[in-house]
Structure formats: structure tokens, C-alpha cells
Amino acid sequence: MPDYIRWLRERVGHDHIQLAYAAACVVTDERVLMQRRSDDGQWGLPGGAIELGESAAAAVVREVSEETGVRVEIEALQGVYTEYRHVYPNGDVVQPITVFFRCAPIGGRLGGDAESLEVRYFDLDATPALTNPLYLDALDDLRAGRLGVYR
């Protein structure tokens, strides 16, 4: 957990707060990079909290590298997703304001950090079942080729 979020949670506990995130649809050869998260065992798209003083673009490059081992370059802004609520397994409640980028892999090696149980590429039409509405919408937008989405 980034220091800022730890600091904030020490003050507000598990209360519902709003946080800024950056996430990626990393695509190569009609396949998308996905991560099975260690906190809930669910599949999703790589990304995480934007740290204080960090841009969304820098955050997505950092988060994808940390969580998947893959270095990426941003190709486009996919969209800004704001209409969601998430409850983490530890009870923290958040309204994520997520900036999603379309990215291309440019190096690195598949392999995650402690936040990832598994990372791998899936064909766009054969991704694992998802339960998080944010990821469902982001993948729908990816498959439809939509950019500049605001939800």
C-alpha cells in the first residue's frame, strides 16, 4: 500500500473515500495482458493508485512494470472511469477515479510482484470471467475500439 493511502487510511479507517488510479489495457497481437490479484484471487487489468506528485501516465508505466514485469509505452488514452465503487478484502471502500490507457509492451519479462498471483496474455475474445464492473467496461471499450471514453 503506498504511503499516502496508508496515511489516509490511518485517519479515516475503512470509510468510503475517492482515490485516483491509473490502469492499462496492454495489447499485443489481439491479446490483452491480465493479472490475477493476490488480495482477492480475481482476474483484472494491471494498474494502481497514483502517488502524490505523480502523473497518471507515470503511474501506469510504473504499476504495469511492478505488477506484471512488462515495460510499456502509452499509445492512447482509453478513457476516464468514475462511476464505480469497490470494497477491498480488508474492508476499505473506495470510489476509484481511474484513468485507463491503451499501452503496448516494449520489454521486460512476464512475472508479477506480491500483488499478482499470475500474469498472462489472453485472446481478446477469451478473457477469464470478471466480476469487477470497471474491468468489464474497460474490456468492452477495448474490444469495441473506443477511445476517449468517459463513464
Q: Could you tell me the residue range of the domain that residue 11 belongs to? A: 3-140
Residue 72 lies in a domain: yes
118 is catalytic: yes
Calpha distance 121→70 (Å, rounded): 11
Residue burial 59-78, b: 16+ Cβ < 10 Å; e: rest: bbbebbbebbbbebebeeeb
Task: Please give the model's pTM, rounded to 2 decimal places.
Answer: 0.92
Residue 148 lies in a domain: no
Residue 128 lies in a domain: yes
Calpha distance 71→78 (Å, rounded): 18
Active-site annotation holder among 54, 66, 75, 118: 118
Share of the chain above pLDDT 70, in %: 99
What does the pLDDT look like over 3-42, one tens digit per residue? Answer: 888 888 899 989 899 999 999 999 999 999 999 999 899 9
Calpha distance 36→42 (Å, rounded): 5
- Domain containing 17 — which CATH number? 3.90.79.10
Calpha distance 31→21 (Å, rounded): 23
Of the pLDDT bands very low, low, confident and very high (cuts 50, 70, 90), residue 1 is low
Task: Give me the number of domains the chain comprises.
Answer: 1
